[in-house]
Structure 1
Amino acid sequence: MPLVVLVLLGGCGGSPGEEDGRAAQDAAAVPGFPYTVTNCGVTSTFKSPPRRAVTMNQHATELLLALGLQDRIAGTAYLDDAVLPAYRPAYDGIEVLAKEYPSKETLLAAGPDFVYGGYSSAFDKAQGRDRAGLARAGINSRLNVEYCTAGPIGLEQLRTEITEVARTFGVPERGAELIAEEQRRIDAVTARVKDRPRPAVFVYDSGDASASTSGGGGMGNEILSLAGGTNVFADLKGTFADVSWEKVIERKPEVVLVYDYGGTTVEAKKQRLLNDPALAEVPAVKNRRFVVLPLSSAVLGVRVADAVESLGRSLHPDAA
């Protein structure tokens, strides 16, 4: 693997010493490098920006595309739903390594110098994709901070994620511009809904015998709050939590927010709730008040402003 990286950095031909010299010159030519960052307990030093990144999980992929870094992506994997239309042309030019997570062999065959995971499952030690193992192979990595932050996730973590990723790739100004635009759009929504009553919302991710819902620790909870709603399970720690249907009934949600992803359709999820006699008197079910959000919009990534805008319109349709 190191030989592949040297060839990519230094071009073809020449002795190893000459290649080392050219790599050093390349690094010196980029302002701000070497760059050292600690992410989720792992400290990495980048002598130069990554040139062959592999992204695993949709929100990791879309962040690099939002920063205009498609030419640095050697491969990608694992979409939850459709890529945003604005990024589709760039995405279509990138090799898809696997529908879900690639095997270790497929990952290494892509010749990455950096692997960026959106969920902690991207770095599965049992599958040989753990961050320590990648480091031993000379490959730096990053995990989205939503999955290693103690306490609630909010806009501060979004700023951190965008800032550090942009800095890692040597484009800090693009990160600053993206953060400013996200903040501008979010502020516009919060200003419109600030004096409106905040409906009680149950987030339905999945589940039959019990319900998987949004806890108070993840970006989904923050998005719901910014959009002018109140998560009925905000008191639960963590990004997601399993709850009994009895608890759902007790908390009397006025709205059900359905996460759209995977093999179970939104309509099937709605019917699961509508066909359950025990839920018949839950206000949201009784009044058939459902709103929908793609799962990829409910995590820490470049869709936060999109999600706040969409959910704000759904919860407060009369807010100008």
Structure 2
Amino acid sequence: MFHEGLENIMRSRPLPSVLSTTVRAAVPAAALALVLAGCAGEPEPASADAAPEAGFPVDVTACGHTSTVEAAPERAVTLNQGATEVMLALGLADRMAGTAYLDDPEPAAAWAEEYASVPVIAKEYPTREELLATRPDFVYASYTSAFDPEVAGPQGDLEADGVASYLSPFGCADRADIPATTFEAVWDEIDAVAIAFGVADRGADIRAEQERTLAELGDEGAGAGLDVLWYDSGDKTPLVGAGASGPQLVLDAVGATNLYADVEDGWADGSWEEVVAADPDVIVLADASWSTAAEKRAYLEKDPVLSQLTAVREGRFATVPYSMGTPGVRLVDGASTLAEQLSALP
């Protein structure tokens, strides 16, 4: 189906280890576990040709795994849309040797040109052989399933082959390693990747810009007074955005109330009986390649009971691309997109 239920909760959610003084000066102290490697003092290179790149090596740690990045990667491969979009947002398309596995029907319009310049090595996950054929020096993924033996392979095996890797902390296999879903944690991941590629200033710029956007959305309050169902997928049982999720952050950002805010999970099975009883003002339809917004709307409009919901009868729907509702670089864009649609509803 899709990323093994998107790891059930990456649909659920490295955080900070310690940064060296040098790295702290470049990014917020909360940036994810990246520690300048090497001994104290200034090591003497064996020769001018072997001199280490400034600011490297660095250690990248997430989900209990540490990879040493000896120099800014030049042939990265991203697996899953979230990882791909972090790279594109950081202006690193020219450092990418390949990508795979979109969640949305189409890539983000903002980076369509850059995305088109990166080889797509598989529609979903590539085989390990297909991935290694790109000669990667760094593999970055959003979900732990990307490091299955038949895909990229375990991170330790990649390390043994001289390939550094990084798994989004929101995709850790052990839920105890997953940070709380906050915008701060999202920015920490972006900072970590930016440091690994030697572009810490770009990560800081993204953080500052998104903080400004959230402040503006809070002032506007486009969702104030609205009860909202975030409908992800499913028919007999709806999968919904719950209280510890990207959708919750998006709804909070616009001032709306999540119908399932009290459920302490990222994504959860809801109940149509509960939805009918609550009769939400608005239904947000997640638009994903495996469950489009159009399909979900058609289901609601056809069902004899659900079609009588106020939001369905009055066409009070909003559509948000799946990737704008998961912890990642487009989460703030999701809030902006939702605010625009809520403001335009009758």
When normalised by structure 2's length, the TM-score is 0.78
Separation of aligned partners in 2, 1:156 and 1:308? 15
Separation of aligned partners in 2, 1:51 and 1:220? 34
Q: Deviations over 1:241-260 (max 9, x none)?
A: 22232232233322110011
Q: Deviations over 1:45-67 (max 9, x none)?
A: 22222221101111211211111
> 2:187 maps to which residue?
159
Alignment counterpart, residue 267 of structure 2, candidates 234, 240, 245: 240
Bigger fraction of residues in helix: 1
Q: Deviations over 1:108-142 (max 9, x none)?
A: 11111111112333222454633233233322211
Cα offset, 1:89, TM superposition? 1.9
When normalised by structure 1's length, the TM-score is 0.84
Q: How many residues align?
A: 295
2:110 is the counterpart of 1:86:
yes
Cα offset, 1:22, TM superposition? 7.1
Deviates further, 155-164 or 241-250: 241-250
Other structure's SS at 1:166 match: helix
Separation of aligned partners in 1, 2:130 and 2:168? 22
**Aligned-residue CA RMSD (Å):** 2.2
Q: Deviations over 1:70-106 (max 9, x none)?
A: 1110111111232233322222221110011101110
Cα offset, 1:278, TM superposition? 2.5
Other structure's SS at 2:78 match: strand
Unaligned runs of 5+ in 1: 1-19
Closer, same or farther: CA 198–64 of 1 in aligned 2, 3 Å: same
Closer, same or farther: CA 93–22 of 1 in aligned 2, 3 Å: farther
Alignment counterpart, residue 226 of structure 2, candidates 196, 199, 214: 199
Separation of aligned partners in 2, 1:104 and 1:22? 36
Query: Larger relative CO (CA 8 A, sep 6+): 1 or 2?
Result: 2
Q: Deviations over 1:151-188 (max 9, x none)?
A: 64111111101110100101101111111111112211
Q: How does 1:90-169 map to 2 (within 5 A)?
A: 90-125=114-149, 127=151, 129-148=153-172, 150=178, 152-169=180-197
Q: Check whether the contact 1:146–1:218 (CA below 8 A) recurs between aligned residues.
A: no
Q: Deviations over 1:270-315 (max 9, x none)?
A: 1211222232443322333110001121122221222111111222
Separation of aligned partners in 1, 2:198 and 2:181? 26
Alignment counterpart, residue 262 of structure 1, candidates 289, 305, 320: 289
Percentage of identical aligned residues? 39
Deviates further, 130-139 or 108-117: 130-139
Q: How does 1:235-314 map to 2 (within 5 A)?
A: 235-314=262-341
Closer, same or farther: CA 65–216 of 1 in aligned 2, 3 Å: same
Q: Check whether the contact 1:201–1:253 (CA below 8 A) recurs between aligned residues.
A: yes
Separation of aligned partners in 2, 1:197 and 1:61? 33
Separation of aligned partners in 2, 1:258 and 1:279? 14
> 1:6 maps to which residue?
none
Cα offset, 1:238, TM superposition? 3.1
Q: Check whether the contact 1:228–1:315 (CA below 8 A) recurs between aligned residues.
A: no
Cα offset, 1:150, TM superposition? 4.1
Q: Check whether the contact 2:100–2:123 (CA below 8 A) recurs between aligned residues.
A: yes
Other structure's SS at 2:300 match: helix
Unaligned runs of 5+ in 2: 1-45
2:239 is the counterpart of 1:215:
no
Q: Deviations over 1:205-237 (max 9, x none)?
A: 111221111122222221121122121112223
